[in-house]
Amino acid sequence: MEAAGLEWLLVPMQQLVSWGAAGAMVFGGVVPYIPQYRDIRRTQNAEGFSTYVCLVLLVANILRILFWFGRRFESPLLWQSIIMIITMLLMLKLCTEVRVSNELNIKRRSFAAADSKDEEIKAPPKRSYLDFDLNYFWHWSKFTDYVQCVLTFTGVTGYITYLWLDSSLFVETLGFLAVFTEAMLGVPQLYRNYQNRSTEGMSVKMVLMWTSGDTFKTLYFILNQAPFQFSICGLLQVFVDIAILLQAYLYSYYPQKPVSHTTHPASTKAL
């Protein structure tokens, strides 16, 4: 009788914990970007955040959704990808608006200064992904260009996946590419910090949340026996997060002289 009463209490508790873990998987991935989003809106400066992080996550989650059609994994992971894609598009929209706004302000100030020398200072030409100029890739002046690029990538990869969906080798490779790409999430930020010899403008809160979220996610993969690609690449992602935290510590306590490097004419940094 006592065991039955205990079981009556444990079952709802287990269900509640299961729902909580699923909710954390779905929405936990977007939480790290909230402080970064707020910082960019507050300062109107997106230089500390690499938009290539958005590119990595968009590619990874699009591939993960396509992988789901070939090998059905848990639905929270599928919803996580959908929510993450929406979040990255919002981040891109904000970063693009802030960057273009700053460029326009520079042009307006130069134009207003009644000086013949100011005529030499011109705003960079607007670019779209149809230009196929690698120097301007993922550095366009309109948010719609990013959306068009993402839709094109989704359409091409979706069509290829449809043709090869019956091949288990292709499906498993697709799954590996999805989680491996996501594991490389922190690499653009890692490289940018190395270039600048500083982590100024980067939200340390965001990276701390990355680390805790990726640790939780990797444990979730292992305990729920997710496809092996998920667990391996989850561990790799945690190691990259730790490397970025080490950069934040080193550059904070041991400032280094920035390395001079050629900047892109349309922005202050290549990434």
pLDDT at 117: 44
Handedness of CA 143, 145, 149, 151 (dihedral sign): positive
Lookup result for tokens 């790799």: 236
Characterise 132 by phi-psi region: left (phi > 0), alpha (psi -120 to 50), beta (else): left
Across 145-154, 225-234, 256-265, least confident range: 256-265
Across 22-26, 113-117, 256-260, least confident range: 113-117
Q: Which amino acid is at 145?
A: D
Tell me if the pTM is above 0.75.
Answer: no
Whether 60 is in a domain gets the answer: yes
pLDDT at 234: 83
Whether 2 is in a domain gets the answer: no
Distance CA 97, CA 48 (A): 15
Whether 100 is in a domain gets the answer: yes
pLDDT at 33: 86
Whether 229 is in a domain gets the answer: yes
Number of independent structural domains in the chain: 1
Are 189 and 202 within 8 A, CB to CB? yes
pLDDT at 7: 61
pLDDT at 235: 86
Most confident of 10-14, 35-39, 166-170: 166-170
* Domain span at 232: 8-107+138-253
Are 148 and 142 within 8 A, CB to CB? no
Whether 232 is in a domain gets the answer: yes
Whether 102 is in a domain gets the answer: yes
Task: Work out the pLDDT band at 65, boundaries 50, 70, 90.
Answer: very high
Most confident of 43-52, 71-80, 87-96, 125-134: 87-96
Nearest Cα neighbor of 69 from 167, 1, 141 is 167
User: 95 — phi, psi (to 5°)?
Assistant: -60, -40
Q: Which amino acid is at 181?
A: T
CA distances from 39 to 23, 33, 156, 193, 202 (A): 26, 10, 35, 18, 9
Share of the chain above pLDDT 90, in %: 23
Quick: pLDDT tens for 110-131: 223 444 444 444 455 555 545 5
Whether 119 is in a domain gets the answer: no
Question: Is the pLDDT higher at 20 or at 235?
Answer: 235
Output the furthest CA–CA distance in the chain (Å, rounded): 93
Characterise 258 by phi-psi region: left (phi > 0), alpha (psi -120 to 50), beta (else): beta
Crossing angle for the helix pair 33-43 and 75-112, nearest 10 degrees?
10
Query: Which residues have a Cβ under 8 Å from the Cβ of 188 and sit 6 or more positions away?
Result: 50, 52, 53, 55, 56, 271
Whether 116 is in a domain gets the answer: no
Q: Which residues of 221-231 are buried (b: 16+ CB within 10 A; e: fewer)?
A: beebebbebbb
pLDDT at 114: 43
Quick: pLDDT tens for 142-189: 899 999 999 999 999 999 999 999 999 999 899 889 888 888 878 877
CA distances from 154 to 65, 159, 263 (A): 10, 8, 31
Question: Is the pLDDT higher at 139 or at 263?
Answer: 139
Distance CA 179, CA 229 (A): 7
Distance CA 271, CA 267 (A): 9
